[in-house]
Structure 1
Amino acid sequence: MRKRLIVLAIVVVSLFAYTKLMARIGSGSLPPDAPQEQQADLIRVYKSERRMVLLKGDVPISTYRISLGQAADAGPKHQEGDEKTPEGRYEIDWRNPKSMAHLSLHISYPNPDDRRNAQSHGFPPGWGLFGNTHRLWDWTDGCIAVTNAEMRDIWARVPDHTPIDIMP
């Protein structure tokens, strides 16, 4: 029995290490940009529904199930480490092709209002990262997470400076 547990532990640790390594090195190439007519001009996140929608005008062009911060339903993010997901209007301000989570898109959190609010309470505001991995439960520290395949699709469809509305 003890030997089986040791073998199981080795398998689990090996799979975890392999997953982390593959996420780090990725597939070797970035996804190509989608054609202009398939690119979003707005992202809308519905935290309570765990849903993210890419829109072109008022027309949804893609919808994703998401994972959020473990305290996402307790209101907007106020400080680093509170495990909440920000609420409000931001934009995709830069991309990280070498993210520890395969690929990631950064949102412009904290904005000046977020910084002022955090400073008035005497704590750091934290950061906002639009990352990726599984969506079985809320596990992030406030990031919006999707699968690697979905992240490749989003990467191709979302140009820099695309606005993102994060709703309660």
Structure 2
Amino acid sequence: MRFLLTSLFLMVAQAVWAEPTVTLVRVLKTDNKLQLLAKEKVVREFHVVFGANPKGHKRQEGDERTPEGSYTLDYKNADSAFYKAIHISYPNAKDIASAKARGVNPGGQVMIHGQKNGLGWLSPISQHLNWTNGCVALSNADMDVVWALVKVGTPIEILP
């Protein structure tokens, strides 16, 4: 009987403490925030940094901007040059057409990631500077949480 009661308690406790399913990732560039949402409710929020030129939508390769708009987190890379990386599906068809009309390369390989491998200890400093080439960077500890909660295929909305 004791075993059954203990098992029941553990099942109830797990259901109560289980992390919600993330249905949207939202990035607020002006506020340097990345939010994880479950059914339109913010369940986690993290401080993030961007490229050296963070204002405005990414227009071309090398502009050090983070794209703005709606994309998908389409794959994870555990063997990145940075501590874990989740790929943002930039450029989309609109981004490609816009860059083509201007005769430039739209760029790509925009990720959500942690610190450069081996440099995680710099996070208390680097997370106060826009240092990426247009990616969204978190501390390694925060990236562990995002990595665990965000599934491939989750939509991402990047706002100014």
| TM-score normalized by the length of structure 1 | 0.76
Cα displacement (A) at 1:83:
0.5
Alignment match, 1:53: 35
Q: Which secondary structure state, in structure 1, belongs to the residue aligned with residue 30 of structure 2? A: helix
Alignment match, 1:156: 148
Structure 1 Cα separation of the partners of residues 21 and 131 of structure 2: 28
Cα displacement (A) at 1:36:
6.8
Structure 2 Cα separation of the partners of residues 103 and 37 of structure 1: 20
Structure 1 Cα separation of the partners of residues 18 and 29 of structure 2: 28
Equivalent residue letter for 2:102: H
Picking from 15, 20, 25, the partner of 1:43 is: 25
Question: Could you report, residue by residue, the CA deviation over 1:68-104 in whole angstroms, capped at 9, with x for unpaired residues?
Answer: 011111x100001000110000010001010111200
Alignment match, 2:85: 104
- Counting matched residue pairs gives 133
Structure 2 Cα separation of the partners of residues 163 and 80 of structure 1: 23
Taking every aligned residue pair, what percent have the same amino acid on both sides?
38
Cα displacement (A) at 1:67:
0.5
Picking from 125, 140, 153, the partner of 2:132 is: 140
2:111 is the alignment partner of 1:129: yes
2:57 is the alignment partner of 1:65: no
Structure 1: segments with no counterpart, 5+ residues: 1-34
Cα displacement (A) at 1:59:
1.2
**Runs of 4+ off more than 3 Å:** none
Q: How much is the aligned-residue C-alpha RMSD, in angstroms?
A: 1.3
Alignment match, 1:119: 100
Structure 2 Cα separation of the partners of residues 126 and 54 of structure 1: 26
Which has a greater percent of helix?
Answer: 1
